[in-house]
Amino acid sequence: MATHLPKHTTMSPHLTLLGLVLAAGLATALKKGEVLDMTYKYDNVTTLGWPGSTPFELTILQRGPTPSTPWLEGNKFCTAEHFGTHMDAPAHAAKGKWRVDQIPARNLVGPAVRVDVSAKAAANADYQLSPADLTDWVSANGPIPDGALLFVYTGYGAHWTNRLAYYGYAGEDDYLDADGNSLLHFPGISEAAATWLVSNTQVSGVGIDSASLESGQSQVDFAVHEVLLKENIFGMENVANVDLLPTTGATAYALPMKIGDGSGGPVRIVAVLTENADGGSNRLRVDYAALLVVGISIIMKAIL
């Protein structure tokens, strides 16, 4: 029997589209050795900080040619310690504990751990990380490594630069009402979860992609700061790109300005992937799945 083959074949446009969808999804995955910047830039416009704090201000002193050089730039800046992406040294909330220049360098580097509560925070702006969130993480991923830098992913980084959305309150001065109640609404860590970390782990630092370790409605006693910082566990607030950090499989570096007697300061946080992020960022997996679903939906409509 003769077999009739076409003189040439052309890939179905439906398969072409599916291939593009798959390629787009794969292209978003972070690879081993890549460096993730987890720090927001400081500038005079977009940088957010605690209500009532001295804002970041850069003053240009020289930008242009000089009699002796073709080009020279030099500036000065002023900022509160706890502004933008910053570190809370233990002394910030615990008398006699390390100031920022006293934190051992070895404590500034460690395995990165990401705990995802973004879905819960999306449903409840005042959500607080619970001990159950941490024990669930351990059940799924194993023990939290000694010396880890643990990052809580709330999803609030998506609101960065929008003060009202980020803080749940637009005021830039006081944040308490006449009765001393907080006007702020954003997710944070519960005192019980902080106590669990102190009792069950040897983490070096705890960071979050919202404005404070405590939730907005807990900004009256700073209990979470006290629980963690009195154990010389430093805090990191307004951390960027936590959505892109793998659940495990990265090493984090949190390098603050080494300010003598400082209670904190601006910090450059980066994470270096030690393995491919196939089990990491939920956002990457969700984006990939969404692309795939959209692609298949388009193909099915075209076929039918």
Q: What is the 3-state secondary structure (H, E, C) of the chain?
A: CCCCCCCCCCCCHHHHHHHHHHHHHHHCCCCCCCEEECCCCCCCCCCCECCCCCCCEEEEEEEECCCCCCCEEEEEEECCCCECCEEECHHHCCCCCCCHHHCCHHHHEEEEEEEECHHHHHHCCCCEECHHHHHHHHHHHCCCCCCCEEEEECCHHHHCCCHHHHHCCCCCCCCECCCCCECCCCCEECHHHHHHHHHHCCCCEEEECCCCCCCHHHCCCCHHHHHHHCCCCEEEECCCCHHHCCCCCEEEEEEECCCCCCCEEEEEEEEEECCCHHHCCHHHHHHHHHHHHHHHHHHHHHHC
Q: Is residue 114 part of a domain?
A: yes
Domain, as residue range, for 215: 35-42+81-285
178's tokens: 């006449």
- pTM, to two decimals: 0.84
- How many domains would you assign to the chain? 1
Q: Residue 129 maps to which CATH number?
A: 3.50.30.50
Q: Is residue 29 part of a domain?
A: no
Q: Is residue 72 part of a domain?
A: no
Q: Is residue 7 part of a domain?
A: no
Q: Is residue 254 part of a domain?
A: yes
**Residue 280 dihedral angles phi and psi, to the nearest 5°:** -100, -105
User: What is the structure's pLDDT at 276?
Assistant: 79
Q: Is residue 190 part of a domain?
A: yes
Q: Is residue 290 part of a domain?
A: no
pLDDT tens-digit profile, the chain (304 residues):
554 544 444 545 555 555 554 544 444 568 999 999 999 999 999 999 999 999 999 999 999 999 999 999 999 999 999 999 999 999 999 999 999 999 999 999 999 999 999 999 999 999 999 999 999 999 999 999 999 999 999 999 999 999 999 999 999 888 999 999 999 999 999 999 999 999 999 999 999 999 999 999 999 889 999 999 999 999 999 999 999 999 999 999 999 999 999 999 999 999 999 987 644 444 444 454 555 555 555 555 655 5
Q: Is residue 299 part of a domain?
A: no
